[in-house]
Homo-oligomer: A and B are copies of this chain.
Amino acid sequence: MQKSASSARSKKNRKPAQDKPAAGRPRNAKATQAVLKSAIELGMELGFDALTVEGVAARAGVGKATIYRRWPNVWSIIADAVLADIDEIAPLQQGATARESLHASMLLAARYFRGRRRPILRALIGRAQMDETLLKALIEQWLLARRAVSREMVRRGIASGELRANLDADIVLDALYGPLYHRLLLPYSGDQIALSDSYIDTLVATVFGGLERK
């Protein structure tokens, strides 16, 4: 992680300006990592609603001020921890056709959505509903970063004649990814079947093929 993942963090940070190494004792990278790790662990263990700055500080063996020096609240810690390895988690795939690219990318996303980190992502999106700063960070650093690439897939599919010409790329992506978020956040049919590989297969086939009888 080169730059801060959460924009919320930036205000607290000193400006490194022109590589000037800044006077005084430098921040302890070990402490930073310990906080990120502890926050995720505590959230997973106790539930993210039970997450407190005090608890994270204690688990990380760090003073509260050390946390507040870096982040304005617990949720920006979580945001940082998650969005740090943003590219490694569910990376977008490029295939021969738009359908193949999107299908492969969606399979990876679904695996992430039903995997170990599922509670973190749910909590983060959930919390973002009451936290504009967090919402902004999620949209910009997670969603729009992926959209930029995905939209290109759709556009290439249109250009190549694979897809219908009058499609709105965002609506296409909404139709494909919307169901994933829907099932992530409102898992109405029991978690086991939801977001399985075959669910994605059927979903892609359905959306690409349309609903009406030909």
Contact = CB atoms under 8 A, between A and B. Distances in A.
State the number of copies, please. 4
A212 interface: yes
A178 B181 CA distance: 7
Interface stretch (A11-19, A86-94, A125-133): A125-133
Q: Is the interface of A mostly helix, strand, loop or mixed?
A: helix
Contact-residue bracket for chain A: 35 or more
A185 B129 contact: yes
B125 A129 contact: yes
Interface in A173-200: 174-175, 177-183, 185-189, 199
Interface in A132-185: 135, 138-139, 143-144, 147, 161-165, 167-168, 170-172, 174-175, 177-183, 185
Contact of A164 (B127, B162, B189, B211): B211
Interface of A: 47-49, 99, 122-123, 125-131, 135, 138-139, 143-144, 147, 161-165, 167-168, 170-172, 174-175, 177-183, 185-189, 199, 202-203, 206-214
Given A127-B129, A164-B213, 15 more contacts: A48-B130, A49-B130, A99-B211, A122-B129, A126-B129, A138-B186, A143-B186, A161-B213, A162-B212, A164-B210, A164-B214, A171-B206, A174-B182, A174-B183, A174-B203
